[in-house]
Structure 1
């Protein structure tokens, strides 16, 4: 079973809040709209406001045009031609305005795939800061958050998931992923709600 609550103690001073893909293209009407974003946004804003300097936002950057990409990503952007940057406009990749106002001191790391780890920028930043714990919020629970969490586990980070600050466009797979975290990743993943997090993170 997983560690529900902070089973491994309070959050230390080598921790970062990693907020995944809270962007306009997922919040505004589109084929990738995630209605839950409006529900979790106030929770995420509260965390960021308390820990501005410890926050790193990731942004998912779609292909520039349909059919662009390597391997299956080429097919992906043929299917999702309507979500390429030349169609939606570059402004849609921006963070939601209520979060963007925290940058700086919060920083932004861009990525072109689900996971923020392969391109190396995020890991370099965390290593330079001596980070040992990542606190994960954002969306989607079953896609980019999943990729973020699994990569963090592989790199040896303590992972704290803030369950009331995660969103998905699918209730069923959101719930299924929380069950997987609870039952299969107990040594690496702890799950808490925002109030518990903040009361244990000075």
Structure 2
């Protein structure tokens, strides 16, 4: 199916976003956009809509970057098995430039902010949560890759921390269509009181109306 997935109809269900929101853009990096072992085929398709969200308020945007382990031996626990499966994606072998955001997004930094993470979740070390709490952020709009991996970790972590979560359904993507679609169904059917699903057009319209 297309990267909009099966769920893009609900829109913003719980009132205006106001001004206490950020856009958390997950792992839109060259190593996923280009022909690597982790190539995410839909990234080029959703990128224009991600750009639209960033353009709405670059100063409210936080980009995450996934930074792999140096090598499998230095990884923790089951991450060793993970990096033995993908040794070409460790820092020992990967072109460091591939860690960068894709060119269409790099120019927004600053005022947009970049945080690096070594695991799927951007919340695990507490730095992002502390920063957003200091800024009075209540709502997190999420875009990026991959829908059922790092985006999922960002969504669940934000839910656990009490944020209002809105997933931009046509600005998330995956390398696997079936699990991308299943994840969107999961967000809709299992997190209905804590997650809203909206298209980028719906988000932009909401902001124009405020």
Shared fold by TM > 0.5? yes
Structure 1 equivalent of residue 155 of structure 2: 149
Structure 2 equivalent of residue 173 of structure 1: 179
Shift of 1:157: 0.4
Instruction: State how far apart, in whole Å, the 2-side matches of 1:64 and 1:133 are.
Output: 34
Question: For 1:169-189, what per-residue CA distance to the aligned partner results, in whole angstroms no more than 9, with x for missing partners?
Answer: 010001001111111101100
Shift of 1:68: 2.1
SS of residue in 2 equivalent to 1:190: strand
Question: For 1:8-31, what per-residue CA distance to the aligned partner results, in whole angstroms no more than 9, with x for missing partners?
Answer: 012120100000000000011011
SS of residue in 2 equivalent to 1:85: coil
SS of residue in 1 equivalent to 2:134: helix
**Structure 2 counterparts to residues 1-202 of structure 1, below 5 A:** 4-201=10-207, 202=210
Instruction: State how far apart, in whole Å, the 1-side matches of 2:63 and 2:55 are.
Output: 13
TM-score (norm. length: structure 2): 0.93
8 A Cα contact 2:72 2:79, kept in partner: no
Instruction: State how far apart, in whole Å, the 1-side matches of 2:74 and 2:126 are.
Output: 22
Which consecutive segments of 4 or more residues in structure 1 shift more than 6 A?
none
Question: For 1:50-98, what per-residue CA distance to the aligned partner results, in whole angstroms no more than 9, with x for missing partners?
Answer: 2111000000000112332111111211111110112112111110111
SS of residue in 2 equivalent to 1:88: coil
Q: Tell me how many residue pairs correspond in the alignment.
A: 201
| CA RMSD across the alignment | 1.3
Instruction: State how far apart, in whole Å, the 2-side matches of 1:46 and 1:52 are.
Output: 10
